[in-house]
Amino acid sequence: MDAQFVQKYKKRRYLYGALIEYRLMTKWDTRFLKLATHISEWSKDPSTQVGCVVVGPDREIRSTGFNGLPRGIEDNNERLNNREVKYPLICHAEENAIMHAARIGMSLKGCTAYVTWPPCTRCARSFIQAGILSVVYPENTDIPERWMDDFNLSLNMLKEAGIRVKTA
């Protein structure tokens, strides 16, 4: 793709108060976001399904994750339908992808994370510590108002840490 074409369509905008850069989505962005969406469907959470695919610099899939309870913890309806019970137990998709990679000895340093939602502060911390270089999530994600402050802080954390955030 020629540099002038990319520069012409390169845009900057503020999303939730943080400066976010977005460019034309590549075929690889499309593929990995579709895969993250497919993986999100594995979540048994009745209110929100989130998926994450972490990809290395050569477009190789390093890890995947979806939001759910930890291995060996029963994910019954009583737990999943009660937020007071669910929230302390649930692992976010991003955390699951990072922890799975650690479990199998896979480094995520220098990788890109494709997620179906903007990462929360908890997951932003994990991305920063894991060495993720960029995060891509869908541009028109419908975020409940109760999460807006957390996502704003998260996006600012990622920016301050030098992690590229891209909507596609």
Q: Which of 94, 95, 139, 160 is catalytic?
A: 94
CB 135 within 8 A of CB 115: yes
Active site residue 94: yes
Distances (CA, A) of 93 to 27, 131, 160, 163: 23, 17, 23, 18
Give the SS3 label for residue 108. coil
Q: Is the dihedral of CA 142, 147, 149, 150 positive or negative?
A: negative
Distances (CA, A) of 81 to 13, 75, 91, 120, 143: 36, 10, 15, 21, 19
Q: Annotated catalytic sites, by residue?
A: 94
